[in-house]
Chains A and B, each alone.
Chain A
């Protein structure tokens, strides 16, 4: 359930490279030496995927765990295979030239990912207007909303209202089941109370009759 990075890019027409407008990444769970390379990886993949996403389309790409790598142009080093344990899904959403790309792991539900990308795009358009259309190079200023979004939306329920509603409804249902059980137990207790109270009323009636009998029978002595 982890978001590794969120990117906003401007997807120019096919000829040129997409331009990165905002970038937020969380690489803390990779090893120290891998962090910078992961960041590069994120940038690179984001550009590639964004450039290949047609406008007003959504796309998901999976990067699997094992990927061999070959070193070719280095004399003295024979090609070797190194396997990565990276499991990443890249979700991209292109909307009229403005692209949002998210890097998540495979537990993150796809639907929440796309609704999150939607929100990010809306927010970006709200805060930056149309200024991004003229961007020609990668902007390196961090956009605080994106970093905060990255932190907030690690839990997919935050991004996807439907998921949140479904979760709350399930909790409510569980609570209601417990309530019904306790109401049934209450019913049983009430039944036992009814029994006891009817016995009590019988006993008190007998008591009254006895008392009346002793009173009315012998007047003197």
Chain B
């Protein structure tokens, strides 16, 4: 009768409880005069308790429902992410779904925190039995565990999606490596301009190479252009360089700043991962302690049983003389019987 749920286990003994209540009620029914009186006195505070508890229960059930819905959406997202092929990529849907799920998870987080605050405020009031507080604690823990599982599944789905996208990118690059690398370039012709001397001294070089092998393709552009284009391009290129200068400085600084931000956020994520890890390990530590206690009980029981059995064995073996005497007496009686009958 124990229900397994994530990392905490609890026994569902509601039925036994209801049976006991019924039987008690039936036994107390003759003394019914006293009971309603007492009930009336406590009714006000009890109803308040009921209201408080029912609000807690309402919230908890709402949160559980929301967690269910979120996990359903998550399974849909997982299916979508798994089946992406190279061509018909439902990126839009996946993005929307991801955003929606993220919002829901953060909303659930805040709701769960509110629930926790509510529970601690309720525990502050004195008219709560120990069982109520443990019950509410267990409920909150269960909900937290389920939310954690959902978040973990979400993260797995996102990792899978990024891996898929990387695979698609690789495949796409394989097929279209030529197309992607070509880019227009305003700076192609700027080099020959400044060093005409260098160009002239390398002039004999290109065509000599060109005649020797057709693959001397680096040199050609150096020769470049006739005399008309250089001047025009020199001024053009200088302008472009000027324009390019300031944005390049900015881009450089920006890229450094962005890299630093990335590093910082990664460190934050690592921090959260570590705290989660620590929480999980401490929870499992409790479980290990329970296992240890169970094993000690078992050991004690088995040792007791062994001593009992040893005693029994002793008594059996030590009683043999008595038993032999009893047998002898019995056989004697049998003989007498036989004598009398026969």
Pair A220/B195 contact, Cβ less than 8 Å: no
CA distance A76 to B326 in the complex (A): 139
- Say yes or no: is A45 at the interface (Cβ < 8 Å to chain B): yes
The interface residues of chain A lying within 8 Å CB-to-CB of B309 are 211, 215
A83 touches B217 (CB 8 A): yes
Segment at the B interface, from A5-13, A35-43, A121-129: A35-43
Within 8 A of A (CB), among B284-328: 284, 287-288, 290-291, 294-295, 297-298, 301-302, 304-306, 308-309, 311-312, 315, 319, 322-323, 326
Complex CA distance for A51 and B274, rounded to whole angstroms = 52
B218/A38 in contact, CB under 8 A: yes
- Residue of A with least CB distance to B198: A44
Contact B291–A71 (Cβ < 8 Å): no
Do A205 and B241 form a contact, CB below 8 Å, given A68-B220, A176-B274, A187-B284? no
Binds B, one of A59-67, A95-103, A139-147, A148-156: A59-67
Q: How far is the CB of B302 from chain A (nearest CB, A)?
A: 5
Contact of B312 among A47, A82, A170, A211 (CB under 8 A): A211
Q: B205 within 8 Å of A by Cβ?
A: yes
A190 contact set on B, CB distance < 8 A: 284, 287-288, 291
- Asked if B225 lies at the interface with its beta carbon under 8 angstroms from chain A, I say yes
Count how many chain B residues have C-beta atoms less than 8 Å from C-beta atoms of the other chain.
89
Set of chain B residues within 8 Å of A162, measured between Cβ atoms: 256, 259-260, 263
Instruction: Kindly state the separation between the CA atoms of A48 and B221 in the bound complex, as whole angstroms.
Output: 15
| CB pair A37 B185 closer than 8 Å | no
* Complex contacts, B248 vs chain A, CB 8 Å: 58-60
- Assess whether B226 is in contact with A41, with CB atoms less than 8 Å apart: no
CB-CB < 8 A to A197: which residues of B?
290-291, 294-295, 298
Known contacts A162-B263, A186-B284; is-contact A86 B193 (Cβ 8 Å): no
Looking at B181, B290, B295, B301, the one whose CB has the most chain A CB atoms below 10 A away is B301
Instruction: Output the least CB separation between B199 and chain A (Å).
Output: 8
**Per a CB cutoff under 8 Å, which of B185, B223, B270 touches A70?**
B223
Which residue of B152, B255, B287 is within 8 Å of A111 (Cβ)?
B255
Q: Which residues of B contact A (CB under 8 A)?
A: 2, 4, 7, 9, 152, 155, 159, 181-185, 187-188, 190-191, 193-195, 198, 202-203, 205-207, 209-210, 212-213, 215-226, 238, 241, 244-245, 248-249, 251-252, 255-256, 259-260, 262-263, 266-267, 269-270, 273-274, 276-277, 280-281, 283-284, 287-288, 290-291, 294-295, 297-298, 301-302, 304-306, 308-309, 311-312, 315, 319, 322-323, 326
